[in-house]
A and B are shown apart, each in its own frame.
Chain A
Amino acid sequence: MKHEISTLMDGELFEDDADRLFDRINRSPGARMDWEIYHLIGDVLRQPEHIHCGLSAKVRERMHDEPTVLAPRSHAVKRKIHTIALSAAASLAAVGVVTWMSQQISFEAMPQVAMQQKALRQASMQIQPKSNEYLMAHQEFSPSTDMNGGASYIRMVSYNPEGK
């Protein structure tokens, strides 16, 4: 953990790793001491003439009497929610535009489709009288539904217990 603390205080650890490490430091007084000593070393190297007795223990004592502060909701979280809401709104707008455009296209194409359907209906009415007889003759081979398709493979049997 010491190695990670050293990397963390240099700002060279990834955010998720840092978050996990803070949890571990919280649980370990030794790790908190390492954090404190490494910072002391840095301060001594930078400004040896300005090193004075630390305050953290005294501040910590006073902090015991302080009620725990809680922000209603972290500003960073609010920012994230704001960003998510904006992207969701943008996505909805995009979907709306695409739907509207597709409807416009389908309305324009509708008369052409109607005309094609009318022509098909006329052609099928011409074919129908001829094909009806053929279809009636071969009805049992028609796979129009699953049951009908399978009906030709089913043998009907009966059982009479009195006729033994």
Chain B
Amino acid sequence: MADREVDQQLVERVQRGDKHAFDLLVSKYQRKLGRLISRFVRDPAEAEDVTQEAFIKAYRAVPGFRGESAFYTWLYRIGINTAKNHLLANKRRPPTSTPFDADESESFEEASLLREVNTPENELMSKQVVDVVQSSLQQLPEDLRSALTLREIEGLSYEEIASVMNCPIGTVRSRIFRAREAVAENLRPLLETSKGNRW
């Protein structure tokens, strides 16, 4: 079951009235969508509001989602439209007139113009989270670190990782889980201290 199918399954649950399923989609895509919207709406507080609005619009529109495109592609369009409407409502021009699609969005970098802006409080929290994740990763045994990196950064499937690391798929599954859980163990105390600031 590919990643797109996981999303499709969650969407179908939302269409059957399961709000928790939408919550899982929000958890999964909040940073990706927030990053996209912050390229249009540079004020961090506004960008956050627009991202929330985009998710709510997506939730209301879910009954009409037919699964013809990937869920994120669909969410991406809603995000772009919400951001543009927000700027138009505030009589501001969007930062770019050239449309770019969801696949290009990850590589779309115009640092000076579209640099993400964050509040000082969030900036500090973000830095701490990044530090904890990176230091935890460095402390992992080599085989766990490689498995997690190949999965999360290179985007390889378990089968491909098994081939690269010359081990059974079950071992890959176990290594990735153990790596994630080791990093998560170090993150949990930090996240619990930031009450109401769920990640």
Residues of A within 8 A of B (CB): 2-3, 6-15, 18-19, 22, 25-26, 32, 34-60, 62-63, 66, 68-72, 74-76
In the complex, 28 of the A-B residue pairs with CB atoms within 8 angstroms, ordered by the A residue number, are A2-B177, A3-B177, A7-B173, A10-B176, A11-B3, A11-B5, A18-B1, A18-B6, A22-B13, A38-B180, A39-B27, A45-B148, A45-B152, A45-B153, A48-B130, A49-B116, A53-B126, A55-B30, A55-B51, A56-B23, A56-B27, A56-B30, A62-B56, A66-B19, A66-B60, A68-B19, A74-B15, A76-B12
Do A41 and B180 have beta carbons less than 8 Å apart? yes
Docked complex Cα distance between A73 and B30 (Å): 27
Q: Which stretch, B61-69, B70-78, B83-91, touches the partner chain A?
A: B61-69
Determine the chain B residues whose CB is within 8 A of the CB of A60 once the complex forms.
23, 26
> Are A36 and B13 CB-contacts (below 8 A) given A43-B32, A53-B122?
no
Apart from A25-B20, A63-B59, A69-B59, list 14 A-B contacts with CB within 8 A.
A8-B6, A10-B176, A11-B6, A15-B5, A46-B152, A50-B116, A53-B119, A53-B125, A62-B56, A66-B56, A70-B15, A74-B15, A75-B66, A76-B8
Which chain B residues numbered 139 to 186 have a C-beta less than 8 Å away from chain A? 148-149, 151-153, 157-158, 173-174, 176-177, 180-181, 183-184
CA distance A10 to B6 in the complex (A): 9
Residues on B with beta carbons closer than 8 Å to the beta carbon of A57? 196-198
Taking a contact as CB atoms under 8 Å apart, the answer to whether A56 and B198 are in contact is yes
